[in-house]
């Protein structure tokens, strides 16, 4: 059952990532003075939150199945083990920890400045999550 669970988690994550990409493309096309800017930004952030949650859970299942290591169910612990196993680079480690921190900011409080900052980071988070999932399925 383990391998099938990992395959399913990767497939679900890829769908969420595609949804994040679509939101990113729409958001990048709108100017800050457009009435759709704020709703599109907020939608982008919500999709990012969903993606980063799925990302670390998918990565945890992958590590458990492929490496036989029972990783604690903590986003930062999973990212750390992924570095130790050379699944992700040190630079990606920093980026993914930043993504997790940004995700935590969005879920605990809402400030316009924070939303702007996170929205500007989503492209980098997307690019690195996309690159990693491609690596995992190859």
Q: What is the pLDDT of residues 79-96, one digit of tens each?
A: 999 999 999 999 999 999
- CA 36 to mean position of chain CA atoms: 24
Mean pLDDT value of segment 49-76 = 95
Which residues 6+ apart lie within 8 Å of 5 measured at CB? 61, 65
Mean pLDDT value of segment 127-136 = 96
Residue 54 confidence (pLDDT) above 70: yes
- Identify the band that residue 113 occupies on the pLDDT scale cut at 50, 70 and 90: confident
pTM over 0.75: yes
CA distances from 114 to 108, 109, 120 (A): 11, 9, 10
User: What superfamily would CATH give domain 2-137?
Assistant: Nucleotidyltransferases  domain 2 (1.20.120.330)
Which residues 6+ apart lie within 8 Å of 23 measured at CB? 40, 43, 44, 47
Mean pLDDT value of segment 58-82 = 95
Mean pLDDT value of segment 104-117 = 81
């Amino acid at each position: 059952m383990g391998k099938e669970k990992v395959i399913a988690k990767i497939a679900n994550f890829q769908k969420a990532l595609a949804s994040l990409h679509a939101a990113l493309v729409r958001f990048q096309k709108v100017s800050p003075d457009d009435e759709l800017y704020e709703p599109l930004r907020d939608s982008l952030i919500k999709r990012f939150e969903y993606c980063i949650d799925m990302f670390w859970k998918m990565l945890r299942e992958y590590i458990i199945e492929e490496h036989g290591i029972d990783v604690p169910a903590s986003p930062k612990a999973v990212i750390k083990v992924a570095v130790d196993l050379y699944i992700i680079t040190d630079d990606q480690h920093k980026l993914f920890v930043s993504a997790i921190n940004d995700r935590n900011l969005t879920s605990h409080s809402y400030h316009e400045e924070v939303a702007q900052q996170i929205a500007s980071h989503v492209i980098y988070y997307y690019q690195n999550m996309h690159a990693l999932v491609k690596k995992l399925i190859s």
